[in-house]
Amino acid sequence: MALRGPLWPFVVQLTFFMPYVVERKPLTLSERMYIPQILAGMRVTLKHLFAPNVTMQYPEERPAIPTGYRGVPTLVKDPHGREKCVSCQLCEFVCPPKAIRITPGEIPADQADRAHVEKGPLAFDIDMLRCIYCGLCQEVCPEEAIFLQNQYSMTGYTRAEMVNDKARLYELGGTLPDQHFKWDKKKAAAEHGNATH
């Protein structure tokens, strides 16, 4: 007897969506005991057991720092022990997270050898919790006074301890061993270029 009536379309849809039963193959004895799976897992374990150890016993062992590593930004002095920073504030303006704060000040009158310098940093603070180690401050500095060093382990108990002031920045940066002056090198290159022509 053919099914007709108002429910006939719904019955057709229900028969269309009825589950299809898939017959499973019976498991063998080894598959039921999970022996292949256990051996596969043990093979992975034994492979890692005899592999060379890659864990470093920090801090007794330190990783090799690659060339060009961008670590903690610091201030440096010239070979005469003078501050190279002239408080142009370019690093403060270019810093993406605004981690640098500079308070310009006047150069002391007793430093006659720095008569060409208009000002110096009265205060220079870098918030290491905001710094993203991008290196833009180093790139933009016209006097090459700020460098990203190899230090990477900076810790503190409070947020205030993670703000490096001028004294701390010079302590971390130290003194450049050679005449590392960008403008002097450009001036010498210009003079050498004019002399050859």
| DSSP helix/strand/coil, 101 | strand
Most confident of 11-15, 32-36, 112-116, 182-186: 32-36
Residue 185's pLDDT band, with cuts at 50, 70 and 90, is low
- Taking only the tens place, the pLDDT of each residue in 7-16 is 555 555 555 5
What are the residues whose beta carbons fall under 8 Å from the beta carbon of 8, sequence distance 6 or more? Answer: none
- Taking only the tens place, the pLDDT of each residue in 116-175 is 778 889 999 999 999 999 999 999 998 889 999 988 888 899 999 999 999 999 999 988
Distance CA(152)–CA(158), nearest Å, equals 18
Place of tokens 């940066």: 173
Q: What CATH fold (topology level) applies to the domain 73-188?
A: Alpha-Beta Plaits (3.30.70)
Main-chain dihedrals φ then ψ at residue 157, nearest 5 degrees: -90, -20
| DSSP helix/strand/coil, 141 | coil
**pTM tops 0.85:** no
Residue 197's pLDDT band, with cuts at 50, 70 and 90, is very low
Query: H helices within the chain, ranges in order?
Result: 8-16, 29-32, 35-49, 90-94, 136-140, 166-173, 182-196
